[in-house]
Structure 1
Amino acid sequence: MERYLNIIAFNIPWPANYGGVIDVYYKMKVLHQCGVKIILHCFEYEREHSPELEAICEKVYYYKRHTGLRTNLTLLPYNVYSRKHPELIANLLKNDYPILFEGLHCCYYINDPRLKNRKKIYREANIEHDYYFHLSQAESHPIRKCFFRIEAWRFKHYQKVLEHADQIIAVSTTDADYLRRQFPGKPVEFMPCFHTNDRITVKPGSSGFILYHGKLSVIENTQAALFLIRNVFGQLDCRCIIAGMNPPVSLSKAAAPYPNIRIEANPSEERMNQLIHDAQIHVLITFQATGLKLKLLNSLFAGRHTVVNRLMVAGSGLDQLCHIADTPDEMIRICRELMQADMDPELIGKRRNSLYPTYSNQHQGERLNNIIYGKR
C-alpha cells in the first residue's frame, strides 16, 4: 500500500543552509528514500520557490505569511498566527493522510475539529517559550526585547495545544523528558535532528586554526560569538575564524582589535564545508539547553576536535565525543592543548562507533516511517 504524508514546514526548506530547514529537508529526503510520498506545505519567508523540492515531493504548496503589526494583535504567538492560511486547511482536507507539523510555529490547525480523526505528529525543534525568553535576555533593542518577552509568554500558554497531537517527536532527550512531564498521556520519542552527513568525513592530522560557525544573524549565535571573541579567541595566539550567515556589525567591531580573529560573512556551501573539515578545533557554546544543536553534529561528523560547554551537549548523548569546558580559562587551556594534538584514526573510529546508528539519517528515517505507519 502506498504511504502518503502531509508535512507542514515553517519555511521553504531549500536551500538547506541553517538549523531548522536542514532538519526538515534531510528528513524529507530520507522519507522519500523510504518510499513515502510527501505533500509539502511550506510558508514563504525570505526565500524563493524551489524546484529542488519537486524531486522529493509529490506536491509542493506555498503559502504567504501574514506579517506586520496587525498580526501581532493576538493572544496566539505571532509566529503561529502569521502562519494561518485558509488554503492550507483546504489542502489538508483534500486527503486523509497523516500530518507532520514541523515545530510549534506550524500548529495553528492542529486543534481544528475538521482534523479530529487525522493522525497528527508533532516534530519539536525547541521548547519555544524558553527559546524566546533567552532571546529576550540576549536582546538589547527595547522593542525587539519586548516582542521576544511577549512571544515567550504567548508560547508558554499556547503549548497546551499539543494535547491534540497523536505523537510527539523531540529533538533531544532533555526536551523529550520535559514534554513527557507536560503531556503524560502522549507518546514522546527522542529523534535527533536530520543532517547533511551520510558518513564520517573527519580528516586525520592537524591544521592551524579554530572555527566557530552558525547562523550569525540569530541573537543566540551572535551572543556566543561575542563571548568567544572577548573571552577566549582574543587570548589565543592562533588564527580564529567565525563564519556564518549575515553577521551583525557588532561582531566585526568586536573582532577588529584582534589580528588573529577573522569574520567570514556568508561563505558559500563549498567554503563552509572546507572550513569545517580543515579546522583543528571547533569551539561551540550555547547559553540555553533546548532545541537543535545541528552544528554540533556537523562538527562531529566532519570536523576534528570539538570543544563545547555543557549546555551545548545537554540531552544529546554526545558528551563523550567532545572536550567540555564551561569557563573561558578552561576553554583557553583545552584549545592550547588541542592545537598540538593530531586527529588520529583511533579517535575517528570512536566517533563512528558512537554516532552510528543513533545519529544516522537512514536509521532515524526508518524509525520515523515505522512510528507513522507501523512496522511493515
Structure 2
Amino acid sequence: MKELHIISFNYPYPPSYGGIIDVYYKIKALSDLGIKTHLHCFADQIPSTIDREIKEITENVFFYRKKKNPLLYFSSVPFAAAIRNSDILLKNLEKFKAPILFEGLQTTRIIYFLKDNGHKFYLRYHNNETEYYNGLSLSERNIFKKIIYKIESLKYTGYQKKLLKQFETVFCLSEKEYQEVNTCSKNAQLVHIFHGNASVKPLDKKGNYFLFHGDLTTADNKRALNETIDLFKTLPQYKLIVASDRANEEIKRKISAVENISLTPIQTTENLHQLLENAHANILISYQNSGTKVKLFNTLYNSRFVIINGNITDDPFLMNLCLYGTDMNEIRQQIITSAEKEYHDTEKRKKILEKNHSDKAKAEEMVKLIFKN
C-alpha cells in the first residue's frame, strides 16, 4: 500500500479558488490511483466536521490552527510560513513513515526539524512567492498592506532559494517556474494544474452575458475587476456578471452603480459551472506573471469564449484557445468582436485539453516519481 503525507496551506474544501482547487483535485486523482493520503491542514478556524468529499479521498485528516502572533511579522522567516508551524504536526508525521508533499513554500517551516527522520520531501511549487508578493504589493492600494507584501517578497527571496534544494522533486505549475527552479536546484518537474474537469462541455453557439469570476479578497483580482468595471461602463449594450463570494462593501457599491453589471455569489461548484455554461465570454485578467491560472481551465472546459491578457497563461497551446489582448483597449475590442461571434470550438478544445491536461495523467506522473523505489 502506497501512503503519502500532504501538508496543505488550508482546508481544501470546497475547491473554490486558486491553489486549493489544485490541492483538492490532486488528492482526488491520487486516491483514484489507490494512494492513501494522510492530509494535514492549516486553518484559521478548525472545522467542526470533515466534509464527506474529503473523507472519501483521504485516509486521515489532521488540523492545525494558524498562529495569530503579530510578532511573527518581525521573523526572518516569511510570515505566511511562520504562522504554519506546529509541534503536533511533527508528531503526526511520525505516526506514518511515508513521503511528504508540501503544498506551497508556506507549509515548509517544519522541514529542518524533519531532516534526520527518514522522510523524503516533495514540493508542489504553487508560486514563485517573491514575485507573487511583489505583484500583490504593486496592485495593493492600502499603503500598510503594500509595505507588508513588499517585506514578505524580500523575505521569500532568500528563503525559497535556500529551501528548494531540500526536495527530491519540485512539481512546478508552469514552464516559467520550471525553468526558474531547474536553474536554482536542478530538481524541477513540470506538472500542470489539477482542475477536476474530465471533458469539454458541448455548448450552444451563443451565451447570455459576459462573466468575471474570482476571489475578490486578493489585490490582483480586485485590480482586474476595477479595470473590467471601467471597461463595461463604456459598453452599456453588454451585460457583465461578477461571480464571487468574497466581495467587500466597496466592490458591491461600485457594481450596483453600473446598470449593466450585477454581482452573484458562487456558493457551490455546480453554481459556478452553471454560470460558466450560460456565459458567452469570460474576462480573465491578471497583473501577476505566475504561470497558468487555474480558473482558465474551468472556463475552457465549461464555457464559451475566453478573453485573456498575457499573465493568465504562458502555455502557447492554451493561449491558442483564447482571445488575447495586450492591454485594456484590445480587451475591449475582443469583447465587442466576441459578442457578434458564434461559438464552435468544442472539438478544437477537446483535442488539446483532454489529451494534454487530464488529472489522471498528472497524478500518474507524480506517483511514478514519488514512489520510484
Q: Does the Cα contact within 8 Å between 2:292 and 2:312 map onto a contact in 1?
A: no
Aligned length: 370
TM-score (norm 2): 0.94
TM-score between both structures, scaled by the size of structure 1: 0.93
Cα displacement (A) at 1:126? 0.8
Amino acid at match of 1:334: Q
Whether contact under 8 Å (1:309, 1:326) holds in the other structure is yes
Q: Retained in 2: the 8 A contact 1:13–1:21?
A: yes
Q: Distance in 2 between matches of 1:362 and 1:25?
A: 13
Residue deviations 1:316-369, cap 9 Å, x none? 74111111112222122221121121212xx21110001123211111111111
What one-letter code is carried by the residue in structure 1 that aligns with 2:101? L
Question: Residue 316 and residue 68 in structure 1: after superposition, are their counterparts in 2 closer, same or farther (change >3 A)?
Answer: farther
1:37-186 map, 5 Å: 37-46=36-45, 48=47, 49-52=49-52, 53-115=54-116, 117-159=118-160, 160-183=162-185, 186=186
Specify every segment of 5 or more residues in structure 1 that has no aligned partner in the other structure, as ranges. none
1:19 aligns with 2:21: no
**Could you tell me how far apart the structure 2 residues matched to 1:176 and 1:64 are?**
32
Task: Give the share of equivalent positions with the same residue, in percent.
Answer: 27
Task: Report the equivalent of 1:229.
Answer: 229
Matched position secondary structure for 1:201:
coil
8 Å Cα contact 1:20-1:292 kept in structure 2 = no
State which drifts further: 324-333 or 20-29.
Answer: 324-333
In the alignment, what sits opposite 2:35?
36
Determine whether 1:281 maps to 2:281: yes
Q: Indicate the RMSD between aligned Cα atoms, in angstroms.
A: 1.8
Deviation at 1:21, TM superposition (A): 1.2
Q: Indicate if the aligned counterparts of 1:243 and 1:267 stay in contact, CA closer than 8 A.
A: no
8 A contact 1:251–1:263 mirrored in 2: no
Secondary structure in structure 2 of the residue aligned to 1:6: strand
In structure 1, distance between residues paired with 2:317 and 2:153 = 27
State whether residues 125 and 291 of structure 1, in contact with CA within 8 Å, keep that contact through their aligned partners in structure 2.
no
For the 8 Å contact 1:234–1:258, the answer to whether it is kept is no
Cα drift, residue 223 of structure 1: 0.8
Structure 2 unaligned regions, length at least 5: none
Match of 1:4 in 2: 3
Shift of 1:266: 4.5
Aligned to 2:240: 240
Runs of 4+ in 1 over 4 A off after TM superposition: none
- Aligned mates of 2:287, 2:233 — CA distance in 1: 18
The match for 2:355 among 347, 357, 364 is 357
